[in-house]
């Protein structure tokens, strides 16, 4: 499963370090070439000799212990890795990675590594839930670091709570899934819209909505990480935009429509996660509107429904819309799917806790022409996005074989 893959395994200092031995052994059994870097604290819990024997490579602890004069070890290890796996990842190592500290062999190598990173945290529950750790993990998540959640159970410190390192089998499975997903959308062109549109009525004022752009950004990131070439058309957003893709900034629905249409022909998949204004002010004043009477009446006109327009012009593109609802979710979602000729509709009840605008989680129900396809529980927007993109990848016509001609 992992044949031909080079994995840099960073082992940091927690009691769960002992599980790194079994993890290393399983990765090697799956065919991976594993190079181990341990922190000094990790070496207090488990010996480098154990990791060396299991990985069949010299284990690195000290930045200045340069054994091969032909290379600079931390750069060489960073460059060769297809994946960096931190297991167990302590709060301290996550903090160092989040803030760019490089004061030992592992943190220095991490700063030099451009390969994707998967971290499996393990620590006391209060350390895991500390605002600093939470903020560091959020920051790392935005930069593309993936996390394998710790399990809940008896912790070494005596608590029964969340913080146990995921089991080695689970970590190996996640690594396998990661490599398999890297090529799921290779060669595909994906257009994602995100954020809330802004409809101006004077130079400093506009109508908008609560969308943060987080769901659209997570979808764009997931598509990028599955090998797609991604264009992200983003209106007003409060979250930082991801890298590694073409980013097109727009304000109004009209601009979003133009940008989407100009890329539509070349697109394989279009995901319309943006919250587009349904109406815009008819008059856009050139100068700032002055306060006059006690009331102000503003006339609005309907905007073009971008998704419906794309649905009308569809020529083989896979079209995905969203439906943010407050009632009769399924019924409204199916209605939108049919009206807008989309292939999937991702619906959520925005009144539900942990779903909808401006939060980091979502809970969606995905529909196709025949009805409900999947009802996802409350998940991070990133996890929701990955599940959605997998579902889309599964439904694309295969490049070869009989399915394409059916
Ligand atoms: N949408 C769009 N252009 C619009 C309005 C909506 O492309 N002018 C897209 C959204 O990006 C989303 C889907 O249509 O993918 C559903 O949006 P939503 O606002 O939930 O639906 P509406 O059709 O506007 O219906 P309503 O507001 O009445 O629920």
**Ligand 1 in reach of 195 Cβ (< 6 A):** no
| Cα separation, 249 vs 282, whole angstroms | 23
- Is residue 119 pLDDT above 50, yes or no? yes
Contact by Cβ (8 Å): 135, 95: no
Residue 272 CA to ligand 1 center (angstroms) comes to: 9
**Cβ-based burial of 39 (10 A; exposed 0-12, middle 13-18, buried ≥19):** buried
Active site residues: 157
Output the CA–CA distances (angstroms, integers) from residue 323 to 37, 175, 207, 369, in the order listed.
46, 33, 20, 15
Please check whether residue 60 lies inside any domain of the structure. Answer: yes
pLDDT digits (tens, 9 = 90+) for 353-384: 877 777 888 889 999 999 999 999 888 888 89
**Ligand 1 in reach of 280 Cβ (< 6 A):** no
Judgement on whether residues 362 and 329 belong to the same structural domain of the protein: yes
Q: Which of 181, 211, 240 is the last residue of a domain?
A: 181
Judgement on whether residues 156 and 200 belong to the same structural domain of the protein: no
Please check whether residue 16 lies inside any domain of the structure. Answer: yes
**Ligand 1 in reach of 274 Cβ (< 6 A):** yes
**CATH code of the domain covering residue 235:** 3.40.50.10300
Judgement on whether residues 131 and 35 belong to the same structural domain of the protein: yes
Please check whether residue 269 lies inside any domain of the structure. Answer: yes
Q: At 20, is the secondary structure helix, strand, or coil?
A: helix
**Ligand 1 in reach of 344 Cβ (< 6 A):** no
Judgement on whether residues 214 and 274 belong to the same structural domain of the protein: yes
Judgement on whether residues 165 and 58 belong to the same structural domain of the protein: yes
**The total number of structural domains that make up the chain:** 2
Residue 256 CA to ligand 1 center (angstroms) comes to: 13
Residues 6 or more apart whose Cβ sits within 8 Å of residue 171: 23, 85, 87, 120, 148
Q: Whose Cα sits closest to atom 28 in ligand 1?
A: 278
Judgement on whether residues 163 and 251 belong to the same structural domain of the protein: no
pTM of the model: 0.81
> How does strand 269-272 pair with strand 205-207?
unpaired
Q: Which of 153, 181, 209 is the last residue of a domain?
A: 181
Residue 84 CA to ligand 1 center (angstroms) comes to: 40
Please check whether residue 384 lies inside any domain of the structure. Answer: yes
Judgement on whether residues 175 and 273 belong to the same structural domain of the protein: no
Residues 6 or more apart whose Cβ sits within 8 Å of residue 276: 193, 197, 235, 253, 256, 303, 305, 306
| Cα separation, 211 vs 273, whole angstroms | 10
Token pair belonging to 198: 């802004």
Residue 239 CA to ligand 1 center (angstroms) comes to: 21
Q: Whose Cα sits closest to atom 3 in ligand 1?
A: 305
**Ligand 1 in reach of 257 Cβ (< 6 A):** no
Judgement on whether residues 230 and 357 belong to the same structural domain of the protein: yes
Please check whether residue 164 lies inside any domain of the structure. Answer: yes
pLDDT digits (tens, 9 = 90+) for 264-297: 999 999 999 999 999 999 999 999 999 999 999 9
**Ligand 1 in reach of 306 Cβ (< 6 A):** yes
Residue 296 CA to ligand 1 center (angstroms) comes to: 27
Q: Confidence band (pLDDT; 50, 70, 90) for 401?
A: very low
Residue 232 CA to ligand 1 center (angstroms) comes to: 18
Judgement on whether residues 94 and 235 belong to the same structural domain of the protein: no
Q: What is the residue whose two structure tokens read 């598509």? A: 223
Q: Which of 127, 157, 181 is the last residue of a domain?
A: 181
Res 29: pLDDT: 98
Judgement on whether residues 276 and 131 belong to the same structural domain of the protein: no
Please check whether residue 1 lies inside any domain of the structure. Answer: no
Domain that holds residue 252: 189-405
Res 80: pLDDT: 97
Please check whether residue 135 lies inside any domain of the structure. Answer: yes
Q: Which of 216, 234, 307 to mutate to test the pocket of ligand 1 (most atoms within 8 A of CB)?
A: 307
Judgement on whether residues 160 and 220 belong to the same structural domain of the protein: no
What average pLDDT does the structure give for the chain?
Answer: 94
Residue 207: CB atoms within 10 A of its CB come to 16
Q: Whose Cα sits closest to atom 12 in ligand 1?
A: 322
Judgement on whether residues 327 and 248 belong to the same structural domain of the protein: yes
**Ligand 1 in reach of 323 Cβ (< 6 A):** yes
**Ligand 1 in reach of 225 Cβ (< 6 A):** no
- Is residue 138 pLDDT above 90, yes or no? no
Contact by Cβ (8 Å): 171, 180: no
Please check whether residue 33 lies inside any domain of the structure. Answer: yes
**CATH code of the domain covering residue 86:** 3.40.50.1950
Q: At 136, is the secondary structure helix, strand, or coil?
A: helix
Q: At 313, is the secondary structure helix, strand, or coil?
A: coil
Token pair belonging to 304: 């073009």
């Amino acid at each position: 499963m992992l044949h031909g893959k080079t994995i840099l395994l960073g082992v940091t200092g927690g009691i769960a370090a002992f599980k790194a031995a079994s993890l290393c052994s399983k990765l090697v059994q799956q065919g991976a070439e594993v190079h181990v870097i341990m922190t000094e604290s990790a070496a207090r819990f488990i010996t480098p000799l154990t990791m060396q024997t299991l990985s069949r490579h010299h284990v690195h602890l000290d930045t200045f212990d340069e054994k091969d004069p032909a290379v600079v070890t931390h750069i060489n290890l960073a460059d060769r890795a297809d994946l960096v796996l931190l297991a167990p990842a302590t709060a301290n190592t996550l903090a160092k990675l989040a803030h760019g500290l490089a004061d030992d062999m592992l943190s220095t190598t991490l700063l030099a590594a451009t390969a994707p990173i998967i971290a499996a945290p393990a620590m006391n529950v209060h350390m895991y839930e500390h605002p600093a750790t939470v903020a560091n993990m959020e920051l790392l998540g935005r930069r593309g670091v993936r996390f394998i959640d710790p399990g809940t159970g008896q912790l070494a410190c005596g608590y029964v709570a969340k913080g146990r390192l995921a089991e080695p089998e689970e970590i190996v499975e996640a690594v396998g899934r990661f490599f398999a997903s890297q090529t799921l959308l290779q060669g595909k062109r994906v257009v994602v819209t995100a954020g809330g549109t802004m409809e101006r009525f004077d130079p400093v004022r506009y109508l908008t909505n609560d969308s943060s752009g987080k769901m659209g950004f997570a979808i764009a990131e997931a598509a990028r990480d599955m090998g797609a070439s991604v264009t992200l058309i983003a209106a007003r957003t409060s979250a930082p935009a991801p890298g590694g893709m073409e980013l097109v900034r727009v304000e109004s629905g009209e601009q979003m429509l133009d940008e989407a249409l100009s890329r539509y022909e070349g697109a394989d998949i279009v995901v319309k996660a943006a919250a587009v204004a349904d109406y815009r002010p008819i008059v856009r004043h050139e100068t700032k509107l002055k306060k006059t009477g006690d009331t102000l009446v503003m006339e609005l006109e309907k905007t073009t429904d971008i998704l419906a327009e794309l649905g009308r012009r569809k020529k083989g593109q896979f079209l995905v819309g969203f439906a943010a609802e407050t009632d009769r979710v399924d019924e409204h979602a199916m209605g939108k799917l049919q009206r807008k000729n989309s292939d999937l509709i991702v619906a959520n009840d925005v009144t539900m806790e942990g779903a909808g605008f401006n939060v980091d989680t979502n809970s969606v129900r995905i529909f196709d022409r025949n009805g409900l396809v999947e009802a996802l529980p409350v998940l991070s927007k990133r996890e929701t996005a990955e599940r959605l993109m997998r579902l889309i990848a599964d439904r694309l016509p295969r490049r070869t074989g009989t399915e394409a001609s059916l």
